[in-house]
Amino acid sequence: MTRVPLRRALSDLPPYVPGARAAVGAAAFKLSSNENPYPPLPSVVATIADAAVDINRYPDMHATELCEAIAGSLGVDPETVVAGCGSVAVLGHILTAVCESGDEVVLPWRSFEAYPIAISLAGGVGVPVPLAAGGRLDLPAMAAAITPRTRVVLVCTPNNPTGPSVHADELDEFLAAVPEDVLVVLDEAYVEFVRDPQAPDAMALFAAHRNVVVLRTFSKAYGLAGLRVGYAVARARLAAGIRAASTPFGVSHVAQLAAVASLRHTPELLARVERVVGERTRLLDGLRAQGWDVPDSQANFVWLPLGDAATAFAERSARAGVIVRPFAGDGVRVSVGEPEAVDLFLEIAAEAAPR
């Protein structure tokens, strides 16, 4: 039988594995998807309800009000902001806008699971660079991996799933070594949770380097994961190209208004972020007291480098009532949840702690 062929890239495409959910009817804490454990603010929920009456209409294709609100919060020109259906979709549009078939994209590994998928779908060739000790990005090695075919370098900070943030001085040295025609994407999906005083100021780097794009999301700190809103900040010419490569009407009307409402209440939302950061500290301290060697996470999750024991640990944790995210052969990522979830996970971890 003659069949319609699929792109050859799809045969080698790694599947994106979402965080597991509890079985229907089961009671368990879901710490597998780096979600904010707190729901949106009541005022944001009210905005969502009000916006729902207009879903028979197409949304503003370029999310004008939202981009203006983001630009105002960051002190940049609105034409430099491009919104999309989550930061994953925006990254795909960035790669589509700048990569020709066969162009190389340097990325840290292990890092965000969607990176190899987005690169392949854009026709690029991923060049993974192993992490350094402690789950940190090896920026000198990433700089050394750049060739004349390199078009993009992805810098995930804090790095998902390991958690550390890159430091300002090492990022300055890295950017000085990157050719000006190579795009550097600073993926800051977890920036609101960063408390490391050595972390970089991405917007200052954006102002100083024409080849820097900053990628952020409303999914994590703002608790809008289910509405899918992300954005990039890029120089106007790059932003126009990314916008041209974007899916038309990619951000729903409801999502746009919810994100705008969230920005209006940023101080209140960031107070919730502080609660998550406090639980992260308690989780890290508790694990280290049990003897675990865990990286210094600056995100809303922690990483247990369990190697081949990762899957078995995750299965044991699920049976005990906490669903975590295993990466077979590497480790387990545990999202920071409500205090009760942290309490239970520490009990589970204690039973498997290094002796």
pLDDT for residue 27? 66
- Cis-peptide into 42, omega within 30 deg: no
Helix, strand, coil percentages for the chain (3-state, nearest 5): 45, 15, 40
Q: Which parts of the chain have pLDDT scores under 50?
A: none
pLDDT for residue 79? 98
pLDDT for residue 13? 81
What is the assigned CATH class of domain 18-39+267-352? alpha beta
From the list 271, 272, 276, 284, the residue with the least C-alpha distance to 164 is: 284
Does 18-39+267-352 match 42-264 in CATH topology? no
- Locate tokens 């990286």: which residue? 295
pLDDT for residue 67? 98
Provide the 8-state DSSP code for 302: E
List the domain boundaries for the chain. Answer: 18-39+267-352, 42-264
pLDDT for residue 16? 77
pTM to 2 decimal places? 0.95
Give per-residue pLDDT as tens, 184-218: 999 999 999 999 999 999 999 999 999 999 999 99
**CA 263 to CA 226: how far, in whole Å?**
17
pLDDT for residue 18? 77
Provide the 8-state DSSP code for 334: E
CATH of 42-264, one of 3.40.190.80, 3.40.640.10, 3.40.50.300, 3.30.1540.20: 3.40.640.10
Give per-residue pLDDT as tens, 276-331: 999 999 999 999 999 999 999 999 999 999 999 999 999 999 999 999 999 999 99
Tell me, what amino acid is at 125?
Answer: V
